[in-house]
Chain A
Amino acid sequence: METIKVKRNTKKNSLYGHLKKYGSLWLLALPAIILIVMFSYIPMSGLVIVFKKYNFKDGIFGSPWVGLENFKFFFFNFETAWRATKNTIILNVLYTVFGTTAAVALAIMFNEIKNKKVLKVTQSLSIIPYFLSWVIAGGILSAILDYDGGTINSVLTFFGMEKIDFYNEPSYWRVILPIANIWKGAGYSAIIYFATITGFDTSYYESAEVDGATMWQKIRFITIPLLKPTVIILFLLSVGKMLSGDLTMLMSLTNLSPTLMKTTDIIDTFVYRSVMGMGDFTMGSAIGLYQSVFGFILVLFSNWIAGKFDKDYKLF
């Protein structure tokens, strides 16, 4: 009781007392605070650029205000922005659905494999792609998809079929990109799901065994239902990330090739091109703003729903 009384007095003595006691803590936290302010919060103020006519000399804060004029321009040229948005969402949905399915399926299979050697080797191999950069993945992908001698086309010609010009045909990339995404991340995610599965209460399985359940029945009626909450939460949370994409992935795999942009231009690559002077700056800033704002709303929404679904899931 005594200590609490003392604390209250110190707080009443305000800032000086607080700093005297906790000064070293603030010192420890300072570098992190400065970095976050510099690279996360201050750029937020730069969002006003959407309402200005930006010129390089005056910078963000010196350029003149033009109010909503940029938005007029944005809506008149909406098509490319809309295409970028559509692609972002479609790809993210594909990544989430197929990526999660692959990871969960792998984890379930890993769990049933009792041969330790096979398990260890396959698991180790399947997470190697996670450690490689997209640049490396992109370089190797070009060897696989190459029109003249790539692996896929070699196989096609061997069977007397026609070659496919992957790098000039946008429609294939709605399949190629999710597959690449699975290649790179499914093994790694599978490890996490695998750890979860191994933590399940074995008594469920034992009593099922006694009742003569097959492996498939055990998976269908025990493993999958137990995994459902985790998977659903992750699905709900992925809604929050629906508008954000991976610039490095797309750059490495497609080199931002204009012929493929119909299906591969996402919001992030769109903004990147406008920043680098290859696209329209005004459009880039407008689409960036709505990516931030809508992304934020989506995250709040998805977290709220996740909280409703599983009361244990708390944000703060």
Chain B
Amino acid sequence: MNQIKVGTSVRKKKKIGSNQILLFVFHAIVILFAIMCLYPLLLAIGVSFTDETFVIKNGYRVIPGEFSLAAYKIVLGSLGKNIMNAYSVTIMVTVLGTLFSLLVSSAMAYVLSIKEFRPRGFLNLFLYIPMIFSAGLLPWYIMCTKYYHLTNHFYALILPATLNVFNVFLLRNFFNSIPDEMAEAAKIDGAGYLKIFSIIYLPLGKVGLVTVGMFYALSYWNDYYLALMFVTEQKLYPLQYYLYNMLANVQFMATQANQSLGYNISVPLETTKMATICITIGPILLLYPFAQKYFTKGVIVGAVKG
């Protein structure tokens, strides 16, 4: 290492140039990637505010060639009720699901963190095995529909997704980091496990609970898999599933718009699709800055702790 020092002063002047070029390239690529991530959203917004015939003739543009609120009139007007319904389903599912998931997960995580509980190892394995061996879609689907009768029930959108074992392990690790002395002290005061859990571990584990809560909330909010499997009645469609039907099924969208109007009008298909997408993205983008902090921190902790 020391030999290189001789002659560095001459080389250094040239190397600074190459450093700057590289840094510039890095900036460019990173900014380009960020734009690539943003562009699709801008496209959706732009098209949603464009006149339909313009889109058909000239294509999809970020900046509306011909401004029009027609798509939004339909989305907020005739589709409005159905979208509101889908929104309320999703909000209910997300709120109730997240609370339920947190409760069940943290309880299990707590049990897994108690060192003197011998069956702990078995329970860890018991939770871990489904992560590496799964029966697959077919048996699961038959079980849920034919034997558990989940079809078209509200809790079908929550129950199968309640437990994410990865999250349970994450919480377990959080609880493990809470010093044992606290539980010991409480035990001396005569507290049972339930009390220790609710009065000590839950409050102390708040950070972990919020992080895992956000993970669960995001997966409930974005879920359309469960609806795809179990929901056929439109009043139970969650938001993403409603959107999926709008996008995948032109018939669906046409009947949606005609329902409230009662007569056959031509629906501006493409711009309505984009407007619906924008309405769907809204909440996520609003909550995003707030959630981002917790997410990135949580993911890093989770990844590091394995």
A residues with CB within 8 A of B: 7, 22, 24-29, 31-33, 35-36, 38-47, 49, 56, 59-60, 105-106, 109-110, 112-113, 115, 118, 121-122, 124-129, 131-133, 135-144, 146, 148-151, 153-154, 183, 186-188, 191-192, 195-196, 207, 210-212, 214-216, 240, 247-248, 251-252, 255, 268, 271-272, 274-275, 284-285, 288-289, 291-292, 295-296, 299-300, 316
Contact across chains for B60 and A272 when beta carbons are under 8 A apart: no
**Residues in B whose Cβ lies below 8 Å from that of A288:** 135-139
Give B246 Cβ to nearest chain A Cβ, in Å.
8
**Residues in B whose Cβ lies below 8 Å from that of A207:** 1
**Residues in A whose Cβ lies below 8 Å from that of B135:** 40, 43-44, 46-47, 288, 292
B residues with CB within 8 A of A: 1, 4-5, 8, 11-12, 15, 18-19, 22-23, 26-27, 29-31, 33-38, 40-41, 43-44, 47, 55-61, 103-105, 107-108, 110-111, 114, 116-117, 119, 123-130, 132-144, 146-148, 159-160, 162-163, 165, 168, 192-194, 197, 218, 222, 224-225, 228, 240-241, 243-244, 247-248, 270, 273-274, 277, 280-281, 284-285, 288-289, 291-292, 295-296, 299-300, 303-304
Interface SS of chain B: helix, strand, loop or mixed?
helix
* CB < 8 Å A-B pair total: 285
Q: Bound state CA distance, A153 and B61, in angstroms?
A: 12
Q: For A35, give its contact among B61, B163, B224 (CB under 8 Å).
A: B163
**Residues in A whose Cβ lies below 8 Å from that of B105:** 32
Contact across chains for B168 and A32 when beta carbons are under 8 A apart: yes
Q: Bound state CA distance, A12 and B123, in angstroms?
A: 21
Q: Bound state CA distance, A132 and B291, in angstroms?
A: 13
Contact across chains for B143 and A46 when beta carbons are under 8 A apart: yes
**Residues in A whose Cβ lies below 8 Å from that of B1:** 207, 211
Residue of A nearest to B18 (CB): A214
Q: Bound state CA distance, A154 and B244, in angstroms?
A: 26
Q: Bound state CA distance, A296 and B111, in angstroms?
A: 27
Contact across chains for A135 and B247 when beta carbons are under 8 A apart: yes
Contact across chains for B139 and A60 when beta carbons are under 8 A apart: yes
Q: Bound state CA distance, A195 and B138, in angstroms?
A: 39
- Please, could you name 14 A-B residue pairs with CB atoms under 8 Å apart, sorted by A? A26-B111, A27-B194, A31-B107, A33-B123, A39-B159, A46-B139, A113-B27, A118-B27, A118-B30, A135-B247, A151-B59, A195-B300, A268-B137, A292-B133
Q: Bound state CA distance, A314 and B47, in angstroms?
A: 51
Contact across chains for B300 and A191 when beta carbons are under 8 A apart: yes
**Residues in B whose Cβ lies below 8 Å from that of A124:** 289, 292
With A192-B303, A195-B303, A288-B136 already in contact, 13 other A-B pairs whose C-beta atoms are closer than 8 Å: A38-B159, A46-B139, A118-B27, A124-B289, A124-B292, A131-B218, A135-B247, A140-B41, A146-B59, A183-B37, A272-B137, A275-B141, A285-B138
